[in-house]
A and B are shown apart, each in its own frame.
Chain A
């Protein structure tokens, strides 16, 4: 069966440390993978997209890796801050017929302690 799994538990880390979130999938072949941030009571906000031929993508303190052999993406936040506390969603970008259909994971709740 097709599955997308993210860290099942909430992730608690100390301010200043690097947070690493995982996204594993089975029986999908996405061309792209996206990461979104969702704050309580709000809609998801796009953070980063990585293509299947890219190993790594960076944006400020964020870094994403994409291993299509392992069927895994890792999302890193370096020098984490309490303001980074939120739920982070990975989404497989299934493009068929040029239609962008996102399949979301269940999300990981990140709590950064001051």
Chain B
């Protein structure tokens, strides 16, 4: 059983397009996260939601908008894609907002041409 799943795994698109990445966790966790890993493998937090409420919002362009329809899902919508948005995006979840362990999804590799 997949604990944290993301779709799609690969996304190739043109500059200026709008795209979404979906994340689902079947662990019953309250808290979910989006991370960006750049070409140098640096992994940086973007957003976190706890029970559908935004609790972490790092300095991210407002072209990025997370949406949590329920606590098992956290989607990431990106408007007006730019070359610099090319990266691997990871979704993660933890049992609560103060939990020790985060469980990561397999990642979505976004390539903007």
**Chain A partners chain B:** yes
Instruction: Given A89-B43, A99-B48, A104-B44, answer yes or no on A42-B107 (Cβ-Cβ < 8 Å).
Output: yes
A43 (CB) vs chain B CBs: closest residue: B104
* CA–CA, A100 and B92, complex, Å: 12
CB 8 Å contact bits of B32-51 with A (1 = contact, 0 = none): 00000000111111001010
B105 touches which of A43, A49, A101, A106 (Cβ 8 Å): A43
Instruction: Given A43-B90, A43-B92, answer yes or no on A102-B56 (Cβ-Cβ < 8 Å).
Output: no
Interface residue count on the B side (C-beta < 8 Å): 26
A100:B42 contact, CB within 8 angstroms: no
B101 within 8 A of A: yes
Contacts of B43 in A (CB 8 A): 44, 89, 104, 107
* CA–CA, A95 and B99, complex, Å: 10
CB 8 Å contact bits of A80-114 with B (1 = contact, 0 = none): 00000001010001010011111110110000000
Contacts of B103 in A (CB 8 A): 46
A79 within 8 A of B: no
Contacts of A41 in B (CB 8 A): 106-107
Interface residue count on the A side (C-beta < 8 Å): 22
B42 touches which of A32, A43, A93, A104 (Cβ 8 Å): A104
A42:B106 contact, CB within 8 angstroms: yes
B84 within 8 A of A: no
Instruction: Given A42-B107, A43-B107, A89-B43, answer yes or no on A100-B4 (Cβ-Cβ < 8 Å).
Output: no
Contacts of A95 in B (CB 8 A): 98
B41:A100 contact, CB within 8 angstroms: no
B1 within 8 A of A: no
A106:B41 contact, CB within 8 angstroms: yes
B41:A44 contact, CB within 8 angstroms: no
Chain A residues with CB under 8 Å of chain B are 32, 34, 41-46, 49, 87, 89, 93, 95, 98-104, 106-107
Starting from the known contacts A43-B90, A46-B102, A99-B97, 18 additional A-B residue pairs (CB-CB under 8 Å) come to: A32-B100, A34-B100, A43-B104, A43-B105, A43-B107, A44-B104, A49-B101, A87-B41, A95-B98, A98-B97, A99-B48, A99-B50, A99-B55, A99-B98, A100-B99, A100-B100, A101-B45, A104-B44
